[in-house]
Amino acid sequence: MKVLIGANPMGLEGVLPPTGVSHPDVEFVFEPDRDRLKEAIADADVFVGWIGREAFLDARKLKWIQSPSSGTNYYLEIPELVESEVLLTSARGTHAACVAESAMAMILAFTRGIRAGVSAQQDHKWAAQEIRSAMIELTGSTMGIVGIGAIGQGIARRARAFDMRVIAVDAFTTDGGEDVESVWSLARLDDLMAESDYVVVTLPWTAETDGMIGSTQIAAMKKTGMLVGVSRGGIIAQDALAEALRKGTIASAALDVFTPEPLPSDSELWDLSNLLILPHVAGGTQLEGQYIAQIFEENLGRFIRGELPLRNQVDKVRGF
């Protein structure tokens, strides 16, 4: 069996195969050159990395793709892959801690004056009174989480550490764990938007969630509210958000994900002073390669033994 590892920023070629694990019948090959990938993938049984349509069509023996990312929209844009019997697994759950930390940091950047402090530093300005007078304590405020999966639960744990009340909406569960007061159905999304001081969107992007957070939902928020997006672009309607931020419908927002990406340099979002922009980096961590390797090793054992479904196996029709 041939496992081909493609170009990746996580250094997966250094952690696969995992140390101390023996698979004598499995050959691991690393091919970082995209031009040579088409040739290398022709006889690969398993591929770890990002694959384009041309390379996929050349993968005559391919049976399983392991995505290094939690989202799999990139792969599902290849119709032949969606229609094939090739298994697709994601790295869902590996980014729960770091994305949760990022979400809280984005909120704290506003509430604890960090964003204002950085701006004042650039201007060589000692803005103590200006910054201090705008500071907000999270104690007793309400965190609303849209999608209470691994990332949502990670955010809930951290929010509770700040003595926040946590509520959530989700399409598939009413159990958010001990840190969540209530989990409602998505039918109550507008209720969550209205009741929360901070709303964090962690849902996967699918046909059903596309544009889910639009002008109506944003208008339901408190005037002092903050909206945070850390899953995928397309769920929060960017035009509606920009208008709300300009008009002061809500106080602030922070986005790590956009449509399209990279965010065009002429986008109006760049110039909104009450919007914090990060370039889809909330999932960054020094442990990323190790986390993905753990999932892959578990799945490789299952795959060899024919035990399906694999961990984090994607329903290619539903999109997650």
**CA angle, 184 as apex, 277 and 218 as ends, to 5°?**
35
Contacting residues for 210 by C-beta, under 8 A, at least 6 apart: 234, 235
Cα 166 from chain centroid? Answer: 20
Distance of alpha carbon 259 from alpha carbon 1, whole angstroms: 38
- Give strand pairing partners of 168: 145, 183
Distance of alpha carbon 26 from alpha carbon 61, whole angstroms: 14
Q: 208, 261, 298, 307: which is the annotated catalytic residue?
A: 261
Q: 92, 95, 158, 232: which is the annotated catalytic residue?
A: 232
- Per-residue tokens: 48: 């770890």
Q: 92, 158, 280, 288: which is the annotated catalytic residue?
A: 280
Helix 96-111 to helix 114-122 angle (10° resolution) is 70
Please say if 261 is a catalytic residue. yes
Distance of alpha carbon 21 from alpha carbon 24, whole angstroms: 10
Catalytic machinery residues = 232, 261, 280
